[in-house]
């Protein structure tokens, strides 16, 4: 795998680690990323990944959640830990190494002992005891959709619980809720649970059992995973049906044996839907290594399941797992190896217990009244009066903002279709609106852009609202007369604000608003700052577009910098560039430009030109397509890596994917490394084969690029790291 692809996979891995996935999935993803790297001959280039990922790996191992792991999974983790020890990554903390190594050793022995037939060594609670309000479900955990994590298929077994009560008589509908975290909106899972509740009531009607309206509260033991799908259908309908028997004080009800695992979707006819082959294999493998004794599956899957189970038992013949095929939930309640039927004269027992404990029962009712009153206040009054927005959505051509209870607190005016197109663009999705407490008053404001094809003022304006649709301020960029030296003519100011961000103000607890866009097409391009009250602070104008904006602390001084990447389209450069600003001194213009005719100077901290390449110059010869060639390359990707290491990537053609050069800088903007991605290497080799370029190796050519990188010192460009002297002078005066 190329280093650039490795870096992208690493970023996706960090996203998985920080998301609410299970510990098992996170360990599998870590193993999937690290295992191929440690097998490579050269370890130096991957050493930083090992250092960065070691804390996450050790933390997940310490959680000791290996109930669904195979011996091979544990072995991979052991090999990674041993490699880390050999590379002295545990040099500063040998105790940590011995701790995680002992955990893995213990878990490995436990798994092998269990697979050899000793059922007391793993998941000791999985006996044939009974539970009336919970049962085990196996499902496939929803993972990241990116191609970098596509091979991870993690089975998870969770206990599904149900708490249910009868609703008051005036209530005619059931209330169904699901307490666990899910990746998207809860509508899909609630619809699924409402469906199985309806099927449970249909079963009651067929058995001539009267029903009321109920509060159903479903939840799993663990919050640390993301659930999507329909696998809990059979388990949910069984729990719902049993809860009706209990709530209606029927003479019988059921308890479920704890050594059983359920899985299956319920059809419209109330039958179990057949699992697809891949899903069946993953779930069967999960149950096989989990310690459960029985697996309840759809009847239509029994043939494939027996074949797959035979493959597993051939390897571990002492492991015994019973497959129980069922067609519907009736088949479960008729199978005594899954449930036990209990009889109870509830009415008589309740009456006798009330007489015996009348004082206690009355006290309980008083406490329940207090609790219900508190619940009403917390769930109805508090959400109604909470006006603080925390999230937004784009619905029916409007921005809607919601408080933490999901109550709407703001609704924008109707926006034109151009806003929909920008919002649905992944790059601009979260940069057209900000919900943040920018003036430190304890209430978050809603700041958004409202582009228009009909009203030129709107597309150059920023709007700031309080909840309840109160406009606090708006700011419109004043029109300017622009002279663009590169083209030798005046330009119509047709300003368009593309995106906004909030940035901390180190001198106050308030925040500034960073806005950026273009005056006319791609140039000149501006980056501006407003204070928390919408007052203009300053603006920087660049020769060429700089639409890739990032905000992070480059030099670890506790203060964020603004990094803008794009192009400089002056004829003397006509190349990619990136600019670094201290937010306190963002003003002026890019080097060698004078768009306002006042000879103002720029106070950028760094201005760096990245050279054109032979691939850029000869793009049309590579493809035979003139459109492949761009007038100039562009900085299109900036990544803040740990250890004060900044990666800047340039696009060299119009093709997708585009050949790219990767530049690595430290916190002082010294070039530490230069590399090419796979697509650039392929393109370069084609040019060599066609003898279009001099016959030198790619590494030799990359070294020549180092000599063409230019740093602006405030007066001239130099081929060595330099900071803008006018920025340094302004900073000294500010002290």
Mean predicted confidence (pLDDT) in 482-503 = 77
| pLDDT tens per residue, range 504-516 | 988 888 999 999 9
**Which residues sit opposite 401 in a β-bridge?**
392, 410
Among left, alpha and beta (phi > 0; psi -120 to 50; other), residue 192 is: alpha
pLDDT at 351: 44
Q: Give the total residue count for the chain.
A: 735
pLDDT at 13: 85
Task: Please check the confidence at residue 125 and state whether its pLDDT lies above 60.
Answer: no
Dihedral of alpha carbons 326, 331, 332, 335, sign: negative
Task: Please check the confidence at residue 205 and state whether its pLDDT lies above 90.
Answer: no
Q: Copy the structure tokens of residue 105.
A: 């050793």
Dihedral of alpha carbons 96, 99, 102, 104, sign: negative
Residues 51-68 as b/e (b if ≥16 CB within 10 A, e otherwise) read eebbebbbebbeeebbbb
pLDDT at 149: 58
Percent of the chain with pLDDT strictly greater than 90 = 38
Q: Which residue has the tokens 């909030």?
A: 502
d(CA 202, CA 222): 31
pLDDT at 571: 87
Q: Copy the structure tokens of residue 470.
A: 């109160």
Terminal alpha carbon distance of the chain: 49
Task: Please check the confidence at residue 94 and state whether its pLDDT lies above 80.
Answer: yes
CA atoms within 13 A on the CB side of 322: 8
pLDDT at 122: 46
pLDDT at 126: 58
d(CA 395, CA 381): 26
pLDDT category at 623 given cuts 50, 70, 90 is: confident
pLDDT category at 488 given cuts 50, 70, 90 is: low
| Least trusted range by pLDDT, from 4-8, 228-232, 271-275 | 228-232
More confident residue, 659 or 148: 659
* Alpha carbon 349 to chain centroid, angstroms: 52
Q: How far is CA 4 from CA 61, 561, 645, 652, 671, in A?
A: 28, 24, 14, 16, 17
More confident residue, 354 or 319: 319
pLDDT at 522: 58
pLDDT at 245: 84
More confident residue, 561 or 377: 561
Structure-derived torsion over alpha carbons of residues 88, 89, 94, 100, reported in degrees to the nearest 10: -130
| Least trusted range by pLDDT, from 152-161, 405-414, 695-704 | 152-161
**Which residues sit opposite 645 in a β-bridge?**
641
Residue 271 is given by DSSP the state B
pLDDT at 356: 41
pLDDT category at 121 given cuts 50, 70, 90 is: very low
| pLDDT tens per residue, range 285-304 | 999 988 788 999 999 999 99
Task: Please check the confidence at residue 358 and state whether its pLDDT lies above 70.
Answer: no
d(CA 708, CA 706): 5
Element spanning 188, H or E: helix 187-206
Backbone angles phi, psi at 567, to 5 degrees: -140, 160
Backbone angles phi, psi at 17, to 5 degrees: -60, -35
More confident residue, 115 or 618: 618
pLDDT at 596: 85
d(CA 686, CA 688): 5
pLDDT at 129: 77
CA-nearest of 714, 713, 731 to 722 is 713
Task: Please check the confidence at residue 352 and state whether its pLDDT lies above 50.
Answer: no
d(CA 10, CA 456): 43
More confident residue, 3 or 331: 331
pLDDT category at 85 given cuts 50, 70, 90 is: confident
3-state SS class at 723: coil
DSSP states of 405-438 as a string? Answer: TS-EEEEPPP--HHHHHHHHSTTTTTTSEEEE-T
Q: Which residue has the tokens 């649905």?
A: 424
| Least trusted range by pLDDT, from 123-132, 229-238, 399-408 | 123-132
pLDDT at 721: 95
Q: How far is CA 267 from CA 195, 243, 271, 362, 384, in A?
A: 10, 21, 5, 45, 39
Q: Which of 328-332, 594-598, 699-703 has the highest mean pLDDT?
A: 699-703
94-115 vs 71-86: helix crossing angle, rounded to 10: 160
| pLDDT tens per residue, range 630-650 | 889 999 878 776 655 788 999
d(CA 297, CA 331): 11
pLDDT at 260: 92
d(CA 77, CA 56): 13
Helices (H), 267-357: 277-288, 302-315, 329-333, 346-356
Q: Which of 115-119, 121-125, 345-349, 355-359 has the highest mean pLDDT?
A: 115-119
Task: Please check the confidence at residue 605 and state whether its pLDDT lies above 60.
Answer: yes
Task: Please check the confidence at residue 355 and state whether its pLDDT lies above 50.
Answer: no
3-state SS class at 663: strand
Task: Please check the confidence at residue 466 and state whether its pLDDT lies above 50.
Answer: yes
pLDDT category at 151 given cuts 50, 70, 90 is: low
| pLDDT tens per residue, range 677-705 | 999 999 999 999 999 999 999 999 999 99
Mean pLDDT value across the chain: 85
pLDDT at 594: 86
More confident residue, 92 or 153: 92
Q: Strand 445-449: give its sheet, edge to edge.
A: 433-436, 445-449, 461-466, 470-476
Mean predicted confidence (pLDDT) in 239-250 = 83
pLDDT category at 348 given cuts 50, 70, 90 is: very low
């Amino acid at each position: 795998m190329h280093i650039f692809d490795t870096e992208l996979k690493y970023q996706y891995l960090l996203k998985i680690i920080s998301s609410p996935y299970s510990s098992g999935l996170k360990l599998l993803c870590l193993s999937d990323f690290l295992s191929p790297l440690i097998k490579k001959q050269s370890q130096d280039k991957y050493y930083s990944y090992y250092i960065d990922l070691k804390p996450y790996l050790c933390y997940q191992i310490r959680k000791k959640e290996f109930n669904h792991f195979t011996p091979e999974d544990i072995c991979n983790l052991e090999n990674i830990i041993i490699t880390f020890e050999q590379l002295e990554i545990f040099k500063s903390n040998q105790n940590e190494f011995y701790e995680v190594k002992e955990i893995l050793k213990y878990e490995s022995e436990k798994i092998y002992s269990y697979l050899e037939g000793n059922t007391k060594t793993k998941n000791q609670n999985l006996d044939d005891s009974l539970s009336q309000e919970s049962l085990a479900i196996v499902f496939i955990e929803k993972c990241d959709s990116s191609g970098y994590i596509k091979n991870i298929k993690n089975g998870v077994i969770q206990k599904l619980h149900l708490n249910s009560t009868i609703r008051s008589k005036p209530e005619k509908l059931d209330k169904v809720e699901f307490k666990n975290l899910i990746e998207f909106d809860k509508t899909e899972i609630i619809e699924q649970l409402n469906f199985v509740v309806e099927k449970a009531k249909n079963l009651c009607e067929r058995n001539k059992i009267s029903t009321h309206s109920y509060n159903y509260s479903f939840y799993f033991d663990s919050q640390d995973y993301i659930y999507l799908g329909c696998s809990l259908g059979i388990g949910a309908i069984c729990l719902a049906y049993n809860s009706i028997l209990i709530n209606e004080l029927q003479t019988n009800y059921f308890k479920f044996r704890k050594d059983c695992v359920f899985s299956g979707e319920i059809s419209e006819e109330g039958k179990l839907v057949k699992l697809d082959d891949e899903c069946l294999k993953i779930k069967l493998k999960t149950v096989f290594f989990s310690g459960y004794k029985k697996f309840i599956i759809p009847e239509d899957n029994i043939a494939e399941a027996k074949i797959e189970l035979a493959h597993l038992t051939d390897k571990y013949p002492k492991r015994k797992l019973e497959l129980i095929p069922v067609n519907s939930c009736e088949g479960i309640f008729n199978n005594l190896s899954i449930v036990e039927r209990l009889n109870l004269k509830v009415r008589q027992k309740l009456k006798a217990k009330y007489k015996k404990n009348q004082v206690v029962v009355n006290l309980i009712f008083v406490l329940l009244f207090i609790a219900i009153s508190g619940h009403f206040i917390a769930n109805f009054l508090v959400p109604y009066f909470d006006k603080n927005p925390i999230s937004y959505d784009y619905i029916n051509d409007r921005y809607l903002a919601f408080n933490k209870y999901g109550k709407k607190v703001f609704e924008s005016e109707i926006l034109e279709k151009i806003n929909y197109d920008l919002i649905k663009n992944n790059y601009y999705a979260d940069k057209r609106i900000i919900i943040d407490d920018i003036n430190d008053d304890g209430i978050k404001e809603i700041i958004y852009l409202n582009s228009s094809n009909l009203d030129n003022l709107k597309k150059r304006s920023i709007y700031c609202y309080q909840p309840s649709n109160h406009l606090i301020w708006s700011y419109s960029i004043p029109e300017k007369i622009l002279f663009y030296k590169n083209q030798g003519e005046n330009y119509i100011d047709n300003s368009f604000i593309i995106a906004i961000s909030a940035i901390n103000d180190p001198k106050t607890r308030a925040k500034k608003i960073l806005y950026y866009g273009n005056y006319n097409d791609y140039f000149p391009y501006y980056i501006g700052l407003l204070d928390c009250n919408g007052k203009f602070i300053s603006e920087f104008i660049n020769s060429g577009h700089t639409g890739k904006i990032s905000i992070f602390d480059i030099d670890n001084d506790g203060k964020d910098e603004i990094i803008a990447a794009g192009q400089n389209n002056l004829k003397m450069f006509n190349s990619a560039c990136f600019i670094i600003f201290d937010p306190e001194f963002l003003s002026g213009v890019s080097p060698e430009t004078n768009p306002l005719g006042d000879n103002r100077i720029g106070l950028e901290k760094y201005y760096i030109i990245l050279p054109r390449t032979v691939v850029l110059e000869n793009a049309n010869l590579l493809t035979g397509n003139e459109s492949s060639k761009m007038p100039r390359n562009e900085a299109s990707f900036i990544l803040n890596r740990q250890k004060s290491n900044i990666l800047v990537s340039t696009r060299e053609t119009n093709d997708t994917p585009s050949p790219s050069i990767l530049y690595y800088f430290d916190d002082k903007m010294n070039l530490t490394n230069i590399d090419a991605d796979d697509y650039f290497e392929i393109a370069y080799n084609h040019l060599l084969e066609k003898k279009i370029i001099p016959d030198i190796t790619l590494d030799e050519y990359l070294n020549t690029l180092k000599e063409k990188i230019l740093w602006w010192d405030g007066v001239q460009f130099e081929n060595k790291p330099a900071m803008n002297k006018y920025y340094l002078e302004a900073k000294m005066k500010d002290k």
